[in-house]
A and B are shown apart, each in its own frame.
Chain A
Amino acid sequence: MLVATGLTKSYGDVQALRGADLDVTSGQIVALLGKNGAGKTTMISIIAGLLKADSGTVMLDGFDAQRDLDRASKLIGIAPQLTGIYGVLTVRENLEFFANLAGVPRSQRVAEAVSVAERLGLTELLDRGAGKLSGGEQRRLHTGCALVHQPKLLMLDEPTVGADVATRAQLIDFVRESAEAGSAVIYTTHYLNEVEALDADIVIIDDGQVLARGTRDELVEQHRMQGVEFAMVEDLPPEVVERLGATTTDASTYRIADDIPVGELVGKLGPLSDQLLSVETIRPDLESVFLAVTGDRLTGAEEGST
Chain B
Amino acid sequence: MDAARALIGVQLRIIRRDPWFLVIMFGMPLVVMPLFVKTMKLSLQAEGFADATGAEQVVPGQVVLFGFMVSGSVAFSVFREHGWNTWDRLRASAASPAALLAGFGVPWVLIHVFYQVVLMVVGGMFVGLRLRGSVIAEFLVIVAYSVCLIALVLLFTATFRTINQVQAVVNLGAMLFGGLGGALVPLEQLPGWARAVAPITPSYWAMEGHRAVFLEPGGLADVAKPVGILFGAALVLAAVAVKKFRVDETKEFFA
Please list the residues of chain A having a beta carbon within 8 angstroms of any beta carbon in chain B: 48-52, 69-70, 72-73, 76, 78, 80, 82-89, 93, 97-98, 100-103, 145
A49 to B96 alpha-carbon distance, docked (Å): 12
> Is B7 among interface residues, defined by CB-CB distance under 8 A?
yes
A89 to B84 alpha-carbon distance, docked (Å): 12
Q: A76 — which chain B residues lie within 8 A by C-beta?
A: 92
Q: By the criterion CB–CB under 8 Å, are B10 and A73 in contact? A: no
> Is B221 among interface residues, defined by CB-CB distance under 8 A?
no
Can you list 7 A-B pairs with a CB-CB distance of less than 8 A?
A49-B92, A50-B88, A52-B248, A78-B88, A78-B92, A100-B9, A101-B95
Q: By the criterion CB–CB under 8 Å, are B10 and A50 in contact? A: no
Q: By the criterion CB–CB under 8 Å, are B94 and A86 in contact? A: no
Q: By the criterion CB–CB under 8 Å, are B18 and A73 in contact? A: no
| Binary A-proximity of B198-212 (CB < 8 A = 1, otherwise 0) | 000000000000000
A65 to B84 alpha-carbon distance, docked (Å): 27
Q: By the criterion CB–CB under 8 Å, are A93 and B13 in contact? A: yes
A-B contact count (CB 8 A): 67
Which of the residues B2, B9, B14, B90 comes within 8 Å of A88, measured between beta carbons?
B14
Q: By the criterion CB–CB under 8 Å, are A86 and B84 in contact? A: yes
Q: By the criterion CB–CB under 8 Å, are A80 and B17 in contact? A: no
Q: By the criterion CB–CB under 8 Å, are A73 and B14 in contact? A: no
Please list the residues of chain B having a beta carbon within 8 angstroms of any beta carbon in chain A: 2-3, 5-7, 9-10, 13-14, 17-18, 84-95, 248
Q: A101-B6, A103-B2 are in contact. Are A70 and B94 (CB under 8 A)?
A: yes
Q: By the criterion CB–CB under 8 Å, are B18 and A48 in contact? A: no
Q: A73 — which chain B residues lie within 8 A by C-beta?
A: 92-94
Q: Which residue of B lies closest to A103 (CB)?
A: B2
Q: By the criterion CB–CB under 8 Å, are A89 and B13 in contact? A: yes
A83 to B88 alpha-carbon distance, docked (Å): 11
A132 to B169 alpha-carbon distance, docked (Å): 34
The secondary structure that dominates the B interface is helix
Q: By the criterion CB–CB under 8 Å, are A85 and B3 in contact? A: no
Q: B18 — which chain A residues lie within 8 A by C-beta?
A: 88
The secondary structure that dominates the A interface is loop
A76 to B89 alpha-carbon distance, docked (Å): 11
Q: A102 — which chain B residues lie within 8 A by C-beta?
A: 93
Q: A78 — which chain B residues lie within 8 A by C-beta?
A: 88-89, 92
A172 to B88 alpha-carbon distance, docked (Å): 23
A100 to B87 alpha-carbon distance, docked (Å): 16
13 more A-B residue pairs beyond the given contacts A78-B89, A102-B93, with a C-beta to C-beta distance below 8 A: A48-B92, A49-B92, A52-B248, A73-B93, A76-B92, A80-B85, A83-B85, A85-B84, A87-B84, A88-B14, A93-B10, A97-B6, A101-B89
Q: Which residue of A lies closest to B3 (CB)?
A: A101
CB distance from A60 to the nearest CB of B (A): 12
Q: Which residue of B lies closest to A155 (CB)?
A: B92
Q: By the criterion CB–CB under 8 Å, are B6 and A100 in contact? A: yes
Which of the residues A50, A69, A82, A93 comes within 8 Å of B248, measured between beta carbons?
A50
Q: A50-B248, A83-B85, A101-B6 are in contact. Are A88 and B17 (CB under 8 A)?
A: yes
Q: A80 — which chain B residues lie within 8 A by C-beta?
A: 85, 88-89
Q: A69 — which chain B residues lie within 8 A by C-beta?
A: 94
A102 to B5 alpha-carbon distance, docked (Å): 11
Q: A70 — which chain B residues lie within 8 A by C-beta?
A: 94
Q: A101 — which chain B residues lie within 8 A by C-beta?
A: 2-3, 6-7, 89-90, 93, 95
Q: B88 — which chain A residues lie within 8 A by C-beta?
A: 50, 78, 80, 84
Which of the residues B10, B17, B84, B91 comes within 8 Å of A97, measured between beta carbons?
B10
A27 to B54 alpha-carbon distance, docked (Å): 73
Q: B95 — which chain A residues lie within 8 A by C-beta?
A: 101
CB distance from B103 to the nearest CB of A (A): 9
Q: By the criterion CB–CB under 8 Å, are A89 and B85 in contact? A: no
Most chain A CB atoms below 10 A, which of B10, B87, B94: B94
Q: B87 — which chain A residues lie within 8 A by C-beta?
A: 84
